[in-house]
Amino acid sequence: MTGSELGLALSVFAACAVETVEAVTIVLAVGMTRSWRSAFYGVGAAAVVLAALTAALGPALTALPLGVLRLVVGGLLLIFGLQWLRKAILRASGLKALHDEQAAFEREREAAGGAGAVGGGIDGYSFAVAFKGVLLEGLEVVFIVLTFGANQHRIALAAAAAAAAVVVVTAAAFAVHAPLARVPENAMKFGVGVMLTSFGMFWGAEGAGAHWPGGDAALLAIIPLTLGFALALVAAARRWAGGALHSGGDRSPVHA
């Protein structure tokens, strides 16, 4: 496995693990409160839609000329990565509330409990909530699998890394029978944001016709430099927010 393939596998695994933690919280809440069977049907239906999307869009993307693919996908990956990184920086600096899996679980359980009686057949509420939760979290994973995988023509490797993350996180959640509140979600999102941003810059520039000094080896400099810059921004954001507080601004953490 080459260095960029390892980067691909690790990035997809981490991104998928984070999204799976959030999806599992939703499924656990409706399953434990209402109907496991209906929740699993919802998960299955969403998985079919996500697999169909990957199977349909993957070959279409890899059929594009490499330059066009890298330009479009690199640009999208950079936009996506900068948004992940921005959110992770704001959370790490205390400007945005950390995602609280236990609180999300309690909210979902309360909503599921107040959604009327559970019937004998398929419970529409459990099905719909599980389907929507898995589909929405899964779309981000599909996007990352397709963009990362297509650029290196390794969609199968990206899909395998995503599947491994789903298996590991789901097994862990069902083993403890509770939401995985202790997973360091923001640190993982920070890492994924750094990788998406780094690969986005690299591929976007290559797709636009630029040549990196050292070729693929430039990533070995781009990734740590991006990480260092993002960490510096965490410290700077704390200072900027401190200045805002001293000048009378309202900077209470925003809940996601």
Partner 1 sequence: MRRVSAAARFVWEFVVGDDWRIAVGVVPALGLTALVAGAGVAAWWIMPLVAAGLLATSVWLAAGPRR
Enumerate binding residues for partner 1 (CB under 8 A).
71, 74-76, 78-80, 82-83, 85-87, 89-90, 93, 95-96, 139-140, 143, 197, 200-201, 204-205, 207-213, 218, 222, 225-226, 229-230, 233, 236-237, 240-241, 243-244, 247, 249-251
Q: How far is the CB of 218 from partner 1 (least distance, A)?
A: 8
Residue (of 94, 113, 98) closest to 22 by Cα position:
98
Q: Nearer to partner 1 by C-beta: 120 or 213? A: 213
Q: Are residues 11 and 148 in contact, defined by beta-carbon separation less than 8 angstroms?
A: yes
The DSSP letter of residue 100 is -
- Cα separation, 76 vs 147, in Å, equals 8
Q: How far is the CB of 99 from partner 1 (least distance, A)?
A: 14
Q: Nearer to partner 1 by C-beta: 150 or 230? A: 230
Widest pairwise Cα distance in the chain: 65
- Cα separation, 249 vs 256, in Å, equals 20
Residue at token pair 């040549």:
211
Q: Nearer to partner 1 by C-beta: 59 or 243? A: 243
Q: Nearer to partner 1 by C-beta: 58 or 204? A: 204
Q: How far is the CB of 147 from partner 1 (least distance, A)?
A: 11
Q: Nearer to partner 1 by C-beta: 26 or 205? A: 205
Q: Nearer to partner 1 by C-beta: 118 or 218? A: 218
Tokens of 226: 């991006």
Residue (of 93, 98, 96) closest to 238 by Cα position:
93
Q: How far is the CB of 204 from partner 1 (least distance, A)?
A: 6
- Cα separation, 12 vs 162, in Å, equals 6
Q: Nearer to partner 1 by C-beta: 20 or 198? A: 198
Helix (H, G, I), strand (E, B) or coil at 253: coil
- Across the chain, the runs of DSSP E, i.e. the strands, are none
Tokens of 102: 């236990």
Q: How far is the CB of 153 from partner 1 (least distance, A)?
A: 22
Residue at token pair 């070959």:
59
Residue at token pair 């740590």:
224
Q: How far is the CB of 133 from partner 1 (least distance, A)?
A: 15
Q: How far is the CB of 85 from partner 1 (least distance, A)?
A: 6
